[in-house]
Amino acid sequence: MKAPTVPEHIKPAHIECTKEDIAEVCIMPGDPLRAKYIAEKFLTDAKLINRARNMFGYTGYYKGKRVTVMGHGMGMPSVSIYAFELFYYFGVQKIIRIGTCGGLKPEVKVPDLILATQSYTESNFAYTYNGDPTHVAYPSKALTNKIKAKAIEKGLSFHEGAVLCTEQFGFYSDNQNVLKRVPETIDLYGEEMETFALFHLADSFDKEAAAILTVVDSAYENTFLSIEQRERSLDTMIELALDSI
């Protein structure tokens, strides 16, 4: 099903820049300060192109390829706002989410990587967005396969599989009952809060989206990375996303 049409008089309400300021490929962490970190550490000629609501966005070059790095906030409502505006108003063709997640299998350890192959949610996000009753969304096969090939080329170990996209932070909700309701045909590797909305929006626009996730906690480990440890452990994922563009 296609994306909704916005009335012509409505302009972007959350991203404040020109269309020319944003590249066709966008790397999106949840944290806007992580976007700042990526721009300063990995990009050349990086320019701050958005600071509305402190959701920082930067456009620069990575190994000669023009790329935008921009935060998307936490949860499906937030990522859907930014992804929608990037696709609808700014001509973005590809978005790679780089985020954190919880591990849902004993073999998925902290800080392993998960390449999401589908996203399941109990939310009615898709039905509200464009009348689609689905609860499963898929990334772009082409973009996901490109990331997979690059990970293999770099000698990285990673998991491929489905992720659970929730509306609440798992530790702060009755997560065990949610997991019991997931269809048996869906083999979950991780849990996070944004991929379903991103994948569904990209599909509605006939654009590409993918997600690489770093496991920062697990139902099977008494390990929970601090904010500082998370920052240090995410460079592998960041470089993989950038090398895949």
Q: Which residues are catalytic?
A: 217
DSSP codes, 171-224: GGTTHHHHHHHS-TT--EEEEESSHHHHHHHHHHTT-EEEEEEEEEEETT-S-B
Q: Which residues pair with 113 in a beta bridge?
A: 214
One-letter amino acid at 117 equals T
What are residue 119's DSSP bridge partners? 137, 163
* Secondary structure (H, E, C), 163-182: EEECCCCHHHCCHHHHHHHC
Angle at which helices 235-243 and 32-42 pack, to 10 degrees? 70
**For residues 221 and 110, is the Cβ–Cβ distance under 8 A?**
yes
Query: Which residues, in sequence order, are CB contacts of 154 under 8 Å at separation 6+?
Result: 239, 240, 243
Rounded distance, CA 130 to CA 134, Å? Answer: 11
